[in-house]
């Protein structure tokens, strides 16, 4: 078993008076890829936002690299090595690819060079002078991931990275994420494309109405059609 990089214990989180996460506990080992699955509204994105500090839990503990995160800001968690690639990408449409990466590197103690990102995302290297608004959806997603990676994160969280993309683009992005996995990048991935997500993951958690309803090996869940039908089918 890999040493825990991240652990959540008994997390309860709310949006206003709406109780969204109910005693959620999970762990992510160093160098591990963990899938977080569930139907829309099950609490997946809220879990990521709670880890990132965007949502403050009312109870429970979060530890990252042996430190409790209760008093850490979003910026502080980013400096500790946690990066979230949000569902809506949030690139700067009026800046070029190069400028987007340079801006992401500001404030990072040891950023990776843009050239390293172009090795991973060869398409971005070809479009380095293009403005964000002129990139395709797949290229924007690549840039969004590259903006996080340039900060050399210990934990990379991907929220619906394949949503709305053509199958051929999804396959290309899966190959890139696969490269990161082989290099030992620790990843949490939230994704409606269950097959793609479980192909990349070591382990999986399934959320249902804000509760962890299943935890196990990704390969086992891939074969468990009954579990998928019960908790993941639309």
| Residues whose CB falls within 8 Å of the CB of residue 58, separated by 6 or more in sequence, listed in order | 12, 13, 14
DSSP category for residue 43: S
The interaxial angle of helices 167-182 and 137-149, nearest 10 deg, is 20
CATH of the domain at 34: 3.40.50.300
Say whether both 178 and 221 belong to one domain: yes
Q: What is the DSSP string of 199-224?
A: HH-SEEEEEETTEEEEEEEHHHHHH-
Say whether both 145 and 162 belong to one domain: no
Say whether both 34 and 46 belong to one domain: yes
- Whole domain around residue 137: which residue ranges? 90-152
Say whether both 73 and 171 belong to one domain: yes
Report the distance separating Cα 15 and Cα 150, nearest Å.
Answer: 32
Q: Dump pLDDT digits (tens) for 128-185.
A: 999 999 999 999 999 999 999 999 999 999 999 999 889 999 999 999 999 999 999 9
Q: Given a cut of 70, is residue 1 above it in pLDDT?
A: no
Say whether both 147 and 116 belong to one domain: yes
Q: Dump pLDDT digits (tens) for 18-61.
A: 999 999 999 999 999 999 999 999 999 999 999 999 999 999 99
Say whether both 165 and 224 belong to one domain: yes
DSSP category for residue 132: G
Q: Are 94 and 107 in contact (CB under 8 A)?
A: no
Q: Reduced to 3 states, what is the DSSP secondary structure of residue 103? A: helix
Say whether both 225 and 158 belong to one domain: yes
What is the structure's pLDDT at 70? 81
Say whether both 195 and 148 belong to one domain: no
pTM for the model: 0.94
Say whether both 34 and 137 belong to one domain: no
Say whether both 58 and 104 belong to one domain: no
Q: Given a cut of 80, is residue 107 above it in pLDDT?
A: no
């Amino acid at each position: 078993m890999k040493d825990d990089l991240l652990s959540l214990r008994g997390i309860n989180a709310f949006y206003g008076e709406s109780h969204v996460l109910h005693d959620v506990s999970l762990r992510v080992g160093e160098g591990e890829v963990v899938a977080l699955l569930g139907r829309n509204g099950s609490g997946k994105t809220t879990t990521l936002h709670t880890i990132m500090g965007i949502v403050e839990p009312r109870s429970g503990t979060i530890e990252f690299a042996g430190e409790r995160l209760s008093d850490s800001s979003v910026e502080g968690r980013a400096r500790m090595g946690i990066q979230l690639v949000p569902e809506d990408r949030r690139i700067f449409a009026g800046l070029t690819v190069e400028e987007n990466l340079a801006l992401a590197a500001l404030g990072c103690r040891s950023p990776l060079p843009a050239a390293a990102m172009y090795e991973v995302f060869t398409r971005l290297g070809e479009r380095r002078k293009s403005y964000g608004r002129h990139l395709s959806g797949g290229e924007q997603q690549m840039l969004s991931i590259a903006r996080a990676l340039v900060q050399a994160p210990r934990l990379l969280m991907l929220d619906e990275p394949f949503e709305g993309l053509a199958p051929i683009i999804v396959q290309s992005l899966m190959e890139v994420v696969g490269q990161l996995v082989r290099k030992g990048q620790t990843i949490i991935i939230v994704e409606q494309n269950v097959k793609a997500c479980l192909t990349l993951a070591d382990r999986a958690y399934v959320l249902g109405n804000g509760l962890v309803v299943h935890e196990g090996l990704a390969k086992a869940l891939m074969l468990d059609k009954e579990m998928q039908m019960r908790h993941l089918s639309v």
